[in-house]
Structure 1
Amino acid sequence: MISAKIAQELGVKESNVASALALLAEGNTVPFIARYRKEATGGLDDSQLRAIEERATYLKELEDRKQTILAAIEEQGKLDQTLKTLILECDTKARLEDLYLPYKKRRKTKADIAREAGLEQLLDKLIDAPHVSPEQLAQSFVTEGFEDAKKALEGARAILIDRFALDADLVGEVRERMFTTGSMLASSVEGKEQEGAKYKDYFEFSEPFTSLPSHRILALFRGEKEGVLHLDLDAGDESMYEGMIAERFNLDTSSQWLTSAVRWGWKTKLVISSGLDVRMRLKERAEEGALEVFARNLKDVLLAAPAGQRATLGLDPGYRNGVKCAVVDRTGKVLDTLIVYPHQPQNKWSDAVQELASACATHGVDLMAVGNGTASRETEKLAGEVADLIKKAGGKRPTPVVVSESGASVYSASELAAKEFPTMDVSLRGAVSIARRLQDPLAELVKIDPKAIGVGQYQHDVNQTALAKTLDAVVEDAVNAVGVDLNTASVPLLARVAGISPTIAENIVHYRDEHGSFASRASLKKVPRLGPKAFEQCAGFLRINGAPDPLDSSAVHPEAYPVVRRIAEKTGLSVDGLIGNTSVLKSLRPQDFADEHFGVPTVTDILAELDKPGRDPRPEFATATFKEGVEKISDLIPGMILEGTVTNVAAFGAFVDVGVHQDGLVHVSALADTFVSNPHDVVRSGQVVKVKVMEVDPERKRISLSMKLSDEPGASTAKPASRNTNTAKDKRSSRGNSTRNASQRRSSSQSSAGGAMAEALRRAGLK
């Protein structure tokens, strides 16, 4: 039943969903199922498998709750077949709780007291005789606690309103009507206009609930939380809801008393409960949309182009406390650390240039990774001067690259960093991290809590448990998509491989330290606590470069090695001769090698892997060139064409770092000449793009950019038209939230780099 429902919702075959759920129940990981069990699942990818897993959890919780509620109502002796059927057919938790509400234990209410006093009979008379005077009917129901007709009528009204609130169908219909027809209104809190200037776009705002995008919902709720915005939920025409209530209970609205009771029930019960539900649904929808954006952004950051195995100098910028520096070799091993003080208040610029040039020459530095925090642009200039000096002295110019330092300080103070660098000063560990994340972003960033990397504007406004779960899944998928070098991977990186726990990851490294490099995947079985199931899950994602068996350095799973042997035998080639032999591999038909264990999808994947074994799915390394003389927001002039790096992608557009310490926004309408529904289809984090400056607001620190270079500043193409409603004017600019602290930069220069330069520098008098 669960698999059928999920299959219908996702538009896939029920048998594939059932197989996926069975594989997950057996302890298989999502990356393993997606890569190596395509026959069973019909080729479901990672995201589909995770959606199935999440939905199955929800439906299982729903079924469990149904059984609990059925048992509770049955214990009260109130469970009839009609109610049982309604509960069993329930498809949402909200509807289920609506049905259970009348039977739920609660504190005694005014309605309960009125019932005990016999006032339900009075209510029935008021409904059956709407034209008789309510006061006249109430006289015969005066009793203890309800000493006069007025109080008796109040008791009857409390019972009627309680009926409204406990009617599952009415509550559900009203709630749905309010969500589909209502609007969110926002205004500024009096006296907070200046303090909340960044929310100016919402000071006179109205938009239907159904069209509010996730980022706008989160912005509104954040403004309310900060005490700057006042939010109102406009349900729409109140008479419509009052009519729904009266019709549901067949109440004669010609009775002033009944009409008043209906209105009071709407204002004191249903509008409040429906409003709470609207807020909850908006928050859930916003979080769902935000999590999708955060996940996509994190994936782009993790799968950013690696600079590769090149000696790198990491620079963690700072003023008073100096620029922390660390040199790492091509494998990331720390060779040297130092601190220079080129900026205020010390201003030892020349000393810093010479010290850094010496370090670069001594260790053959190819790349200079500059963190993008405080003093970044000044430190980037320093790196450029060092690079120019080295080139002038006859050496190969190292390439300075500005990189995101998000999370570097978190890593520096972590237990993992202390374990990795027990004798190194905390401040220097950040420089090491900055250098390594340029070499291989994925390998370094797995050491940091994904939430600390900085993947979106509102990541602190969403459910943190859901955020952690989502981002952890992204990290797992990214690591397994790229694959891991078994003989060089760190414990944190290994721990993200399918089937490998943190304990097993530590055991792998300990085994490697004691016995030397792994010669084959099969030798993994000797690692303590790495059993058959763990081996099955992880083996295909672990690579052994230079292994005697070339398949051990590919993504072909060991269980499929016999298939490769058959292919080699069929072609008359050795496995070595088969690998990379495109002409032969393209001539083969997958179905000729499929059997009861390995179907056409798996064989197709095997042939593709043999053609390009161990292929890295990440893009080629590239850097942006920032415009000379453009260093702060006041340097920007509308019409300028600049090169920059995409730092984040949201539903409403993309943020681009153009080197002025504030990221500009390319609105979704300015991403391309054609209509763009999803910005991720056009750009990704880390991508180098050309943009035109459309508008600059230094006071609010907002920069509007366009990737449509033919756009003219101030043209309507730079922003969408304002929306108007019949209740309030939406003054939201298309460039709302257009700037934020820069989170990723690229350098202003790029050239071939590398080589030893010590001798040249000695000749130049620098050593």
Structure 2
Amino acid sequence: MRDFTPLWVLEELISERANLARWAVKNVVHMLENGATIPFIARYRKEQTHGMEVDKLREIKTLMEELKAIQQKIFTILTGLQKQNKLTEQIVQRIRGAESLTELEDLYAPYKPGNKGTLAERARALNLEPVAMTCIQNPTHVNINKHISLGVKGLSSEKEVQTGIQHIIADIIHRDDTVIKPIRDHCKEKGLMIECTQFIMSKKMSAKTLQKAEKAQETSYKFENYFDFKSSSKTIRPHQILAINRGEENKILSVKFTISEVGRQKFDYMAEKKYLRHDCRGTVRGLVLRAIDDCWCRLVQPQIIRQVRSELTKAAQKSSIDVFSNNLRNLLLTAPVKGYSILGIDPGYKNGCKCAIISQTGQVLHTDVMFLSLSLKMKEKLRKAIEGFRCRYIALGNGTACRETEKLLTDVVAGTATTYCIVNEDGASIYSCSDLAKEELPDLDPTLRGAVSIARRLLDPLAELVKIEPKHIGVGQYQHDIPESQLKAALDCVVEECVSFVGVDLNTGSEALLRRVAGLNQTKARSLIEWREKRGPFINRNQLKFIKGLGDKSFQQCAGFLRINHSDVVIEIKEEGPGRCRKGQEEDPILVSDDEHTSKGKKRKIKNLAGPKKVKKRRNSCDPDPLDETWIHPESYDTAYKLMEGIGLKPAEIGRESGIKRVQDYQKDRSVEELNKDFKVGEPTLQLILDAFLKPCGYDIRDKQLKPLFKEGIRDIASLREGTILTGKVTNVTHFGAFVDIGVGRDGLIHTSNMNRTQLQLGHRVEVKVLKIEKAGNRISLRLENRLE
């Protein structure tokens, strides 16, 4: 059997594209192929990755998936061509060498089976290939007239015969890498010219196209910047590509890609040098020249343009996904507001403002519906509710009637310690009607559930936002122009990373949070919750091994991200069973697998793809383990306890001020490199253990992240003046700039040209200067003066 594997090596190509060490890439690929998650690799396998950050690991995973898809496509194409008896050594080598799906499709296009085939194939079917080869190899011996056959389509005249020969020669040139590759390289280096103009409707258009174009005119003003637009493919921005694609699709823009005249001349020179012999004269010479022109206009130029557009679009989509992912990450990692009751308001006109007050643990204390039309009554009710439930903060949704409600709130909180914050309410209505919302808040009307969700988004953004699909959170850019599967996969990865790195309490974490932990899914999260409901709270991480369907691999991936706050655990024996024992007792050894759970004292056959393999677990004590409150992985507990012994750190001191000081003193005269001589682990693992010992009890990585922007009053857009200096908060980041809430009911835009080369992130507090106010379009142009944090 012929070798249909790619000519390239997966790890080498990833290493080259990502600019990473090959050995590290090889390790990451191996771990990913064996089911390891990115959060686990990033935190607990730094020795094998050379300390790669999450972004690099995700890039490797993406490239690996893309290249594996190309590998499969290469095999499928070559297998198909083999069945059609169309394989030649040249075709095999070209297809095996393809490094992108676009390149593969272009290489395969001439051989795709069809009813009529390509123009060249039709000509070959008429037996015109021999004369075509003579035209380019021995032009003085060509006799075109003898191939004329009256009554045969394609051969009935000299013109038809010449056209067939022309198509064959054009196809031969098109398949010649020695001619085409220099042109591709030239276009890649120099780029193509992109021109856009406003789409002009024509009477020749179909009724469907005409209707689409007419409808699109309603939103054509959004594309005014592209009605007379020129740019090189080398310098065009990702958001511009997506905008151009959308405008063209909606019949608002006409788009033209052009290869430079130098590129065309280079092609003519290369093609004529190889296929136009010096002794080629007369009719045959004209025929070959027409074939070269036909090859360029019909085959080469469109193919290169398709490739460039495809690559630009894919790069723009990837960039857009990156923007969405970064914005989502910053939003999910916004610092929670702890220790206070919060009033959540979902503003509205006709149906009123839905209000809900939650406790510092998220429990619903009070709900109400108030109407802006009865402003005096609404103010009085709000004051009483805020005072009665001691609300320190108000979370106001940014939807309809937000502006009017904010004005009213300004009067309500004046002279008090209460402040309010504008909260992104995107997705709240979707959550309020979901099965999860019905389960969590069964006695509340869906509209009031939205107000509860808004309040909880301020209390703990991560815990609340994981309840809805990330795509419904409005912090993206052109997300509707991105393949949904790609967007979902990328955003799900971000959510998994955020939830895992923040960590989830095993005994209080919701199903929505637990299913997002690395190594878990909805089924395993549900099993975990059912286990603790039946048998009481978890006492240590080892009890995870007794949960149905959660075997060694799942335990390895999730254990470090699940914590137990022992100060909150009250040991109560609800039901005897595997994993549940009284303090001081130990479990008998049992047989378990990832697929089935066996009750104590019973054995059953275990079905596993790898065969009937049974693993005997060691005895597990049910005593609490202080390391379960840290991010140290159970696989490193032996090392951690050995290090504690060397430091003189008592288990009860972990996370306490005395213990932190003891570790700090111990590290003063010892480097990690020196310490590691006594341990059989890598320096990154030892550093991770030391860092865990230096963190206080209840440490939350989000506490150092950007905090919500609280306000006490508002300004009006009418009161804004050009040149005014304001402070605000970044609400969205795109390729063309950042949107900032400056407290006037409308976000302003800092264009990239006005950012002073400063990198902004969602949530940053900034000082800005008002450059321009377009009150008709409610547009505010800003310039960044200073980043406050």
- Shorter chain as denominator, the TM-score bin is 0.7 to 0.9
Partners of 2:276 and 2:159 in 1: CA distance: 24
Please state whether the residue corresponding to 1:210 is helix, strand or coil: coil
Please give the residue correspondences for 1:675-690 in structure 2 after superposition, counting only pairs within 5 Å.
676=757, 682-690=759-767
The structure showing larger relative contact order (alpha-carbon pairs under 8 Å, at least 6 residues apart) is 1
1:196 match: 220
- 1:625, 1:644 within 8 Å by CA — same for their partners in 2? no
How far has the Cα of 1:472 moved from its partner? 0.6
Are the equivalent residues in 2 in contact too, given 1:6–1:52 (CA < 8 A)?
A: yes
Distance 2:234 2:223 in 1: 21
Secondary structure class of the residue paired with 2:403: helix
Which of 159, 183, 194 is the equivalent residue of 1:184? 194
2:632 maps to 1:556: yes
Q: What residue in structure 1 maps to residue 692 of structure 2?
A: 609
- Shift in Å, 1:83: 4.8
> Partners of 2:329 and 2:287 in 1: how far apart?
61
Amino acid across the alignment from 1:162: D
Most deviating of 479-488 and 600-609: 479-488
Deviation per CA, 1:180-233: give whole Å up to 9, x if none.
431110011247888522222111111011211111111111222222211111
How many Å apart are 1:35 and its aligned residue?
A: 0.8
Where in structure 2 are there 5+ consecutive unaligned residues? Answer: 1-8, 202-215, 568-623
Instruction: Return the match for 1:507 from 527, 549, 562.
Output: 527
- Distance change in 2, residues 1:384/1:623 (3 Å): farther
Residue in structure 2 matched with residue 444 of structure 1 by the alignment = 464
| Residue 320 (str. 1) matches residue 350 (str. 2) | yes
Do the aligned residues in 2 keep the contact of 1:69 with 1:100 (CA within 8 Å)?
yes
Letter of the aligned partner of 2:631 in structure 1? A
Q: Tell me if the contact between 1:122 and 1:138 (Cα under 8 Å) persists in the aligned partners.
A: no
Change (3 A) 1:631 1:485: farther
Q: Does 1:148 align with 2:172?
A: no
**CA offsets per residue over residues 470-498 of structure 1, 9 Å max, x none?**
11111111111211122222111111111
Match of 2:390 in 1: 364
User: How far is the alpha carbon of 1:626 from its aligned partner?
Assistant: 6.3
Q: Distance in 2 between matches of 1:194 and 1:32?
A: 49
Question: Residues 606, 655 of structure 1: CA spacing in aligned structure 2 closer, same or farther, 3 A cutoff?
Answer: same
Map of 1:480-499 to 2, 5 A cutoff? 480-499=500-519
Read off the aligned partner of 2:684 and give its amino acid letter: P
Describe the SS at the equivalent of 1:661.
coil
Matched, 1:331 2:361: yes
| In the alignment, structure 1 residue 642 sits paired with structure 2 residue 726 | yes
Structure 2 contact 239–320 (Cα < 8 Å) conserved: yes
CA offset at residue 575 of structure 1?
2.7
Deviations 1:655-699 (A, max 9, x none): 111133332221223223xxx2xx5xx321112211110112233
C-alpha RMSD of the superposition: 2.8
Q: After superposition, where does 1:738-749 map in structure 2 within 5 Å?
A: none
The answer to whether the Cα contact below 8 Å between 1:627 and 1:643 also exists between their aligned partners in 2 is no
Q: Distance in 2 between matches of 1:526 and 1:370?
A: 44
Q: Please give the secondary structure, in 1, of the residue aligned with 2:462.
A: helix
Q: Given the two structures, how large is their TM-score scaled by the length of structure 1?
A: 0.84
Point out where structure 1 has 5 or more consecutive residues left out of the alignment: 392-396, 711-767
Change (3 A) 1:508 1:102: same
| Cα distance in 2, alignment partners of residues 441 and 650 from structure 1 | 22
For 2:207, the equivalent position in structure 1 comes to none
After superposition, where does 1:597-746 map in structure 2 within 5 Å? 597-613=680-696, 615-618=699-702, 619=704, 622-624=707-709, 630-632=715-717, 634-672=718-756, 676=757, 682-708=759-785
Paired with 1:313 and 1:594, the residues of 2 have a C-alpha distance of 55
Distance 1:589 1:629 in 2: 53
Q: Quick one: which amino acid aligns to residue 329 of structure 1?
A: S
Q: Hey, what's the Cα distance between the residues in 2 that align with 1:34 and 1:631?
A: 47
Aligned to 1:299: 329
Q: Residue 402 of structure 2 corresponds to which residue in structure 1?
A: 376
One-letter amino acid of the structure 1 residue matched with residue 645 of structure 2: E
1:264 matched to 2:294? The reply is: yes
For the 8 Å contact 2:714–2:743, the answer to whether it is kept is no
- The one-letter amino acid of 1:4's match is E
Does residue 1:402 correspond to 2:429, yes or no?
no
Deviation readout 1:260-290 (Å, 9 max, x if unpaired): 3322332233322332222211211111111
Give the Cα separation in 2 of the matches to 1:539 and 1:694. Answer: 52
One of 147, 164, 167 as aligned partner of 1:158? 167
Partners of 2:730 and 2:738 within 8 A in 1: yes
2:306 pairs with one of 268, 276, 296: 276
Shift of 1:82: 5.2
- For 1:363 and 1:248, the matched residues in 2 are separated by 86
Aligned partner of 1:111 in structure 2 is: 120
Contact 1:142 1:152 in 2 (8 A): no
**Which residue matches 2:380?**
354
1:447 CA drift (Å): 0.6
Provide, for residues 578-607 of structure 1, a one-character-per-residue CA deviation record: whole Å limited to 9, x for no partner. Answer: 532253243344342566752211011110
1:571–1:627 CA distance, 2 compared to 1 (3 A): closer
Alignment-derived partner of residue 51 in structure 1: 59
Instruction: Identify if the C-alpha distance between structure 1 residues 492 and 173 changes in structure 2 by more than 3 Å, giving closer, same or farther.
Output: farther
How far apart are residue 81 of structure 1 and its match?
4.9
SS at match of 1:319: coil
In structure 2, the partner of 1:218 is 242
Tell me, yes or no, if structure 1 residue 580 matches structure 2 residue 666.
no
Which among 12, 16, 27 is matched to residue 35 of structure 2? Answer: 27
1:127-155 CA distances to partner (integer Å, 9 max, x unpaired)?
Answer: 457689x9x74365344222221222222
Alignment match of 2:76 (pick from 57, 63, 68): 68
Q: Which residue of 2 aligns with 1:590?
A: 672
8 Å CA contact retained: 1:326, 1:336: yes
> What is the rounded CA distance, in whole Å, between the counterparts of 1:700 and 1:241 in structure 2?
49
Structure 1 residues 646 and 140: alpha-carbon distance in aligned structure 2, compared to 1, 3 A threshold = closer
% identity of equivalent residues: 36
Question: Corresponding residue for 2:213?
Answer: none
> How far does residue 53 in structure 1 lie from its aligned partner after superposition?
2.0
The answer to whether the 8 Å contact 1:29/1:498 transfers is: yes
1: distance between equivalents of 2:179 and 2:149? 31
Between the aligned partners of 1:2 and 1:267, the Cα distance in structure 2 is 35
The 2-side partners of 1:158 and 1:5 are apart by 36
Give, as a single letter, the amino acid of the residue that structure 1 aligns with 2:11. Answer: S
SS, match of residue 328 in structure 2: helix
Q: Is the 8 A contact 1:518 1:544 kept in 2?
A: yes
The answer to which of 86-95 and 645-654 deviates more is: 86-95
- Say which of 499, 504, 512 aligns to 1:479: 499
| 1:37 lines up with 2:36 in the alignment | no
Classify the secondary structure of the residue corresponding to 1:489.
Answer: coil
SS of aligned partner of 2:488: helix
Supply the distance in 2 between the matched residues of 1:276 and 1:455 (Cα, whole angstroms). Answer: 31
Shift of 1:377: 2.2
Q: CA deviation at 1:461?
A: 0.9
